[in-house]
Structure 1
Amino acid sequence: MPTLNSPLGVPGDGRCLFRSVVHGACLREGRLSPSDSVQKELADDLRAKVVDEFIKRRQDTEWFLEGDFDTYIAQMRQPHIWGGEPELLMSSHVLQMPITVYMKDQFSGNLKSIAEYGQEYGKENPVRVLYHGCGHYDALQTSYCGPQAKIYKKR
């Protein structure tokens, strides 16, 4: 298993999940960390594609979303609305990459894996994000880059 480095802080602007995922996708591809403005643009693009993926998979996803599906989708299109587990799952499908979520163990201080998404896209070198337990996500870096996968591109 690769060594996880310290979290790379991302702004808590409602896009933190999406910013962390696109940042991790860039690192996974061996690209440099995106600038704040590029990260924001990529995060908004990923959010739009995630919402489209929910709609495409409505029959499979409607049951696990809170409240009315159409209301949820309309809210999730807003850039200030936080994402969570459903958005991580859809992000893995959009990017066709595995995503692993970590939390810091309160006793040891070590990072522990708490969730994995998109394992059907492979298990090597997933996008890694850190969940702080209070609605905020940060990107995590690793000490090595795995095999090249699809590069996340804007459409």
Structure 2
Amino acid sequence: MLSLLGYDLALWLLKVNFLLSFLPSEKFNLVISMDYGLGIPGDGRCLFRSVVHGACLREGKPSPSESRQKELADELRAKVADEFIRRRADTEWFLEGDFDTYVIQMRQPHIWGGEPELLMASHVLQTPITVSMWDKSSGNLKIIAEYGQEYGKENPIRVLYHGYGHYDALKSAINSAESKLPFMGRKY
């Protein structure tokens, strides 16, 4: 019951955060501007939806319909779970709790993904993925994480992290995003 209550509370907070995102952020100081995001639904698949949407943009393909995006997100989720298993020796130590339980739960469509899933998605797609977040003080997007650099650094899939556990796809390449990583101090 506690996990269901936690899930319901988290879902409610996500919905409230989404609705508040349409209000001026400087007034409420709770959310970031939606100017760069595409409005990916917060249905537990947002990370996977954002990555597959970004992959389509990266390849010059049209944006997938919402139903196709959901299908592709679920396919990517399954491949990411399989990638954890393939890379168990390399990944088990940084996952919270029991590895097998984690992977079983990650296969469920309502379970949120995070940094480990972004790393595995970069391996599944053999593509770099960058995660940006709105920096309120500078008024720009800042790159806060980069995955899959071994697959190149050019033309990564770009994902926006809103905070509060929600990911979105970036509308296009953003030139004002600067890397927060010390060895990657260049503009994109």
TM range (shorter): 0.7 to 0.9
The corresponding residue for 2:61 is 31
Aligned equivalents of 2:146, 2:54: Cα separation in 1? 14
Contiguous gaps of at least 5 residues in structure 1: 145-155
The corresponding residue for 1:72 is 102
Partner letter of residue 165 of structure 2?
A: G
The corresponding residue for 1:138 is 168
Aligned equivalents of 2:171, 2:136: Cα separation in 1? 20
Larger RCO (alpha carbons 8 Å, 6+ apart)? 1
Give TM-score scaled by structure 2 length.
0.73
The corresponding residue for 1:12 is 42
Among 72, 77, 89, which residue is 1:59 paired with? 89
By how many angstroms is 1:17 displaced? 0.1
Among 112, 125, 130, which residue is 1:82 paired with? 112
Aligned equivalents of 2:164, 2:83: Cα separation in 1? 26
By how many angstroms is 1:76 displaced? 0.3
The corresponding residue for 1:120 is 150
Q: Secondary structure at the match of 1:61?
A: helix
RMSD value, Cα: 1.2
The corresponding residue for 2:128 is 98
The corresponding residue for 1:41 is 71
Runs of 4+ in 1 over 4 A off after TM superposition: none
Deviations 1:63-98 (A, max 9, x none): 000000011011101000000000000000000000
By how many angstroms is 1:106 displaced? 1.9
Partner letter of residue 112 of structure 2?
A: W
Aligned equivalents of 1:116, 1:143: Cα separation in 2? 15
By how many angstroms is 1:143 displaced? 5.0
By how many angstroms is 1:109 displaced? 2.3
Aligned equivalents of 2:127, 2:92: Cα separation in 1? 22
Identity %: 81
Q: Name the larger-Rg structure.
A: 2
Contiguous gaps of at least 5 residues in structure 2: 1-34, 175-188
Does the 8 Å CA contact 2:43/2:110 hold for their aligned counterparts?
Answer: yes
Aligned equivalents of 2:77, 2:129: Cα separation in 1? 15
The alignment status of 1:111 with 2:141, answered yes or no, reads: yes
By how many angstroms is 1:142 displaced? 2.1
